[in-house]
Structure 1
Amino acid sequence: MLFASRPSCIKRLLIIEDDPLIAFDNERTLKHSGYDIVATVDSGEAAVPIIADQQIDAVVLDLGLAGHMTGREVARLARDRGIAVLLVTGRCPEDAADIAVACLAKPHSASALVAALRAVETMTCKNKAPRKVSGLLTYWRPEAA
């Protein structure tokens, strides 16, 4: 493989973030890391048709969104469709394990965001415990082989 650090099974991402500067930074960081950004939206209402119609491997989701739909509702919808959910939020909620694979606390560095997605990939695609990432809580439950 030419680029060992490129994503393997998680390639197509949906970014759901209501802060335009953070959304832009996340999109830029993840594109430069080899991910295909399907869309970047600021609300659950904008995310729902994308989740329904597009092939998405993971969502990078802030819990505080524009619009009336909550981040938790979006996370449950994505999870129920088999899409890995990485919460990226100021404070990881106590019930995060019910709605996400992992939660990355804000503020975070660009490298922490990429490392968090790699951890999600390790858990969901390889069914292995990930490396520790600063600011990342993981909710890995090994699946029976």
Structure 2
Amino acid sequence: MLFASRPSCIKRLLVIEDDPLVAFDNERTLKHSGYQVVASVDSGEAAVAIIASEQIDALVLDLGLAGHMTGREVARLARDRGMAVLLVTGQCPDDAADIADAFLGKPHGPSALIGALRAIESTICKNEAPRKVSGFRMFRRPEAA
């Protein structure tokens, strides 16, 4: 596949997506790009159980989930625990900057997903401005030195 280089500080991901085909595609893309997908789950409740028991660097999170817990609740929990949050959903919510580090619109291709994670990584791990990615918005900015 196109993306062979290993990520630097974001390695272990949790994919939270209620559409099984999208989840499968995302997981495959991420694994082929050098990321370790700890799990793919379809509900907030399952995500919280994984977050409590595993070391996770970042979430790839759809807001529309199975179960009773919302994507927003999962995002807030993850941010409180220091995890990066990439919202991957159809429309950027008004409160996205309050609950996530970045947003990637659906539908997207494999290169956009990897580009979005690398942009988050550049900002969080390297304190650099992110590269442009189609359909992507970054909310966290590099810190001033």
Give TM class, smaller chain.
Answer: over 0.9
The two structures have a TM-score, normalised by structure 1, of 0.95
CA distance in 1, matches of 2:5, 2:129: 18
Aligned pairs for 1:44-55 within 5 A: 44-55=44-55
Percent identity reads: 80
* Aligned partner letter, 2:93: P
The CA deviation at 1:143 is 2.8
**Does the CA contact (< 8 Å) of 2:59 and 2:86 recur in 1?**
yes
Q: How many residues align?
A: 143
1:118 aligns with 118
Q: Report the 3-state secondary structure (helix = DSSP H, G, I; strand = E; otherwise coil) of the residue aligned with 2:103.
A: strand
Which ranges of structure 2 fall in alignment gaps of 5 or more residues?
none
Q: Hey, what does 1:38 align to over in structure 2?
A: 38
Counterparts of residues 65-84 of structure 1 (less than 5 Å): 65-84=65-84
State how far apart, in whole Å, the 1-side matches of 2:17 and 2:59 are.
10
Aligned with 1:98: secondary structure?
A: helix
- Give 1:138's aligned residue: 138
For 1:142 and 1:123, how far apart are their aligned partners in 2? Answer: 5
Is it true that 1:97 corresponds to 2:97 in the alignment?
yes
* Local SS of the residue matching 1:137: strand
Q: Decide whether the 8 Å contact of 2:63 with 2:70 is kept in 1.
A: yes
Cα pair 1:129 1:140 within 8 Å, conserved: no
Tell me, what secondary structure is at the counterpart of 1:15? strand
Query: Hey, which bits of structure 1, 4+ residues long, moved more than 3 A?
Result: none
